[in-house]
Amino acid sequence: MTEQVIREKADQDSLKFIDEAVELELLYVFVTDNNCLQTDSTEFVDENEEPLVAVPVWSKSFLAEAQKWAGEEAVPEEMTLDYFINEFIPQLEESHCTIGLNWDSEGVGREFAPFDLTDMLVRKINGEEIELPEHLVDDEQEAQG
């Protein structure tokens, strides 16, 4: 697959997350040893150019792909949308984490700043149109190339 196709699929998967999370009012994280799975961000860095921590989440229809990425020892944990927006996202914001949406079995997908994700979810809840923020990695690569 070309980079463009991969980006388009990641965008579609992110929009699917927003649609499903709002429709079902549920989403999922994977947990091992009582901790949410996390990894290095591929899109966001801190002031020292070190990757931020990314915490991926999935909608129900992506659980099979998520399990492949997370590994057999990881367990999906259901979270209500209300808890996610009002409790979980603020904790991630405070910890300077990003949030990955509906990553595939290889861990490929979009990441968003907590504020941006909250904004998109609230817009969807209010029946407004959703626009995804631009790909940060693309902008940096274009600036370098």
pLDDT tens for 22-75 read: 999 999 999 999 999 999 999 999 999 999 999 999 999 999 999 999 999 999
The residue type found at 103 is W
Please tell me the total number of residues recorded for the chain in this structure: 145
116 pLDDT more than 80: yes
Q: What are the tokens at 82?
A: 């209300």
Mean pLDDT, the chain, whole residue set: 92
Pairing of strands 97-101, 51-57: parallel
By residue range, what is the domain housing residue 85?
3-144
Determine contact, residues 102/58, Cβ cutoff 8 Å. Answer: yes
Local confidence band at 136 (pLDDT 50, 70, 90 cut-offs): low
User: pTM for the full model?
Assistant: 0.89
Of 97, 139, 137, which is closest to residue 117 (Cα–Cα)? 97
Contact call for residues 110 and 132 (beta carbons, < 8 A): yes
Res 144 pLDDT > 70: no
Q: Are 96 and 52 in contact (CB under 8 A)?
A: yes
Beta-strand runs (E) in the chain: 26-32, 35-36, 39-45, 51-57, 75-80, 97-101, 110-112
Backbone φ and ψ for 85, nearest 5 degrees, come out as -70, -45
Domains held by the chain: number: 1
Q: Kindly give, in sequence order, each residue whose CB lies less than 8 Å from that of residue 81, ignoring residues fewer than 6 positions away.
A: 21, 22, 24, 25, 26, 27, 121
